[in-house]
Amino acid sequence: MKTWKKALLAIGVGSGVLIGPALADDAKIQLMFVQTSAGIAADPAAGTLRLINVSPQTLYFSDRPVRVAGHLTMDGYLEEWKTGKDNFGEDPPNATLSIFQPGQETNTLVVVELLDPQVEGNDLVYHYKLIEGEMPEGDGMAALFIDWIGPGGGVGAGFRGVGVGRRGPGVAGWAGVAVHSD
């Protein structure tokens, strides 16, 4: 059994993590993140996006073959930007911003590359590069869907995610992990 699987199983037994029957030998976990806020304020000229009253927890999840879900504290999430060789600071993620605007039939969707997150009070401010769409002038409740992280797109040597490396569930902000294998 590969080392990361042993670590995942060991941490799972010790922390109450639910683990499905068997993990495929070549399974890779690609974590994606979601942040929600009461509103947004964008300054296209300055290239900044403010998530107003952002949730203090960032959700993470993966899809098949190994399902992982949980949440990170804001400090734990921000650590992903500077720790390890495959961090968001060195390889900035793309994200889709979904904004609910009263009176519109559908949410406004904007695709951006995220850079340099900074906490300012209850807000989280990113610098961004616009990839697709147009930042709305008004604000509304928002969800930011952030692309995955991991070397080569998944768990492997050096990954700082769930159950691998020096961080895992219950350490440095990780909490509430559930794993299911299809």
Q: Tell me: the pLDDT tens digits for 106-124?
A: 999 999 999 999 999 999 9
Taking the CA atoms of residue 81, residue 87, residue 90 and residue 93 in that order, the dihedral angle to the nearest 10 degrees is -80
| Euclidean distance between CA atoms 108 and 42, whole angstroms | 13
Amino acid code (one letter) for 64: R
pLDDT digits (tens, 9 = 90+) for 61-103: 988 788 889 999 999 999 889 887 778 888 899 999 999 988 8
- What pTM value is reported for the model? 0.69
The whole domain housing 143 covers: 3-21+29-181
Cβ-based neighbour number of residue 170 at 10 Å: 15
Structure-block tokens of residue 169: 């569930």
Q: How many domains does the structure of the chain reveal?
A: 1
Structure-block tokens of residue 122: 């209850």
DSSP state, 152? G
The pLDDT of residue 12 is above 60: no
| Euclidean distance between CA atoms 102 and 107, whole angstroms | 9
By three-state DSSP, how is residue 12 classified? Answer: helix
